[in-house]
Chains A and B, each alone.
Chain A
């Protein structure tokens, strides 16, 4: 009749039990590492302005093309939530995120 067998574990006493529930009130927090390809960066500040964690800034030195590349703020290295918005919004393909394995 189309009933679906739910996965059930069996205890030592032989009584079927539901599997352990995953708490829904505990959000999984992703972490990532930001990588910046400085030779491509044109200092447009998209990543700096649109980063939800505000963890990027414009550095104080210049590349050979005369732009100041973006960099991660000192002390904010662990703040990346791996949302990858900087990667998607960067018009120069100069920033990307590698998600840390939990």
Chain B
């Protein structure tokens, strides 16, 4: 059906609730431009009101389309957490692994079929607390993976506990008087471990995020994109930042583009509560990947 046929479209809005497809099947509706990339029958998704994960997934799907990755070559692997639910909504091959084990599974997928374009989409807790070692070693090997980290600074799904990315002094349900720990500096961590592409954006930088995903999906090696997403029901609420839109605006107001910083100034990429956040592309290298080196070893062994 087309939206022009519905009388409600004259007012600029249509309601899928009152205009089902001719066979009465709501799943058959394809309205949104991303609907052919989504399992639209599963929508609306489970993420909270004001969550930024949907925006980041939309940017990734845009990247898949614009990087001309064929549908049958798209794979998303995720762990446990809010952001790991993307595998239920993206119309790609997908696997929902156990907690923290998305990267090992994705490594296996890539080694089994090197023609696939494998994306790991997980949260900060899954990638850096429970699966921290896997991240480090996949980066060291320069595995052919795009790792997308949705960083909301806490464990959102389990009730807003403090985690390895909670900024110092930030409130959470396990740090009610302020976090005493220093958080991971994710771009520096990825770069130090050997990633060949590292970028960080907030969810309000949608267009930049789309361009980054388009660029990163066409590259090889270990690529890491950190997305600073709002979590209005736990991090935003406990730290009194406000609604999802207000949290997005807040991060956007704090951000400094990496390209605008003079190389001599001492602005680090570390996230400090209520202090400027440096965003941009930090690393972009073409390096030999694990698959290249492994092929050489195999050839040598066969001699």
Contact = CB atoms under 8 A, between A and B. Distances in A.
Given A65-B44, A88-B59, A93 B35 contact: yes
Interface stretch (A1-9, A11-19, A20-28, A30-38): A30-38
Given A37-B31, A72-B12, 4 more contacts: A35-B12, A44-B243, A93-B34, A96-B33
Interface string A66-102: 0101011000010000000101111111101010000
Chain B: interface residue count, which band?
Answer: 35 or more
A42 to B, nearest CB: 5
B14 A35 contact: yes
A36 B18 CA distance: 13
A67 to B, nearest CB: 7
A67 B278 CA distance: 35
Contacts of A33: 9, 12
A91 B13 contact: no
Interface stretch (B160-168, B171-179, B244-252, B269-277): B244-252
A10 interface: no
Nearest to B244: A44
Interface of A: 33-40, 42-46, 48-50, 63-65, 67, 69, 71-72, 77, 85, 87-94, 96, 98
Nearest to A55: B12
Contact of A38 (B16, B40, B58, B206): B16
Contacts of B33: 87, 96
A68 B92 CA distance: 31
A85 B203 CA distance: 12
B13 A72 contact: yes
A50 B43 contact: no
Nearest to B4: A98
- Of all A-B residue pairs in the complex, the 4 with the closest CB atoms, nearest first, are A91-B54, A72-B12, A49-B245, A88-B206
Given A46-B248, A92-B43, A36 B58 contact: no
B52 A91 contact: yes
Given A42-B49, A46-B245, A89 B11 contact: no
Given A35-B3, A35-B12, A37-B31, A92 B243 contact: no
Contact of B43 (A35, A40, A96): A40
Contacts of A49: 245, 249
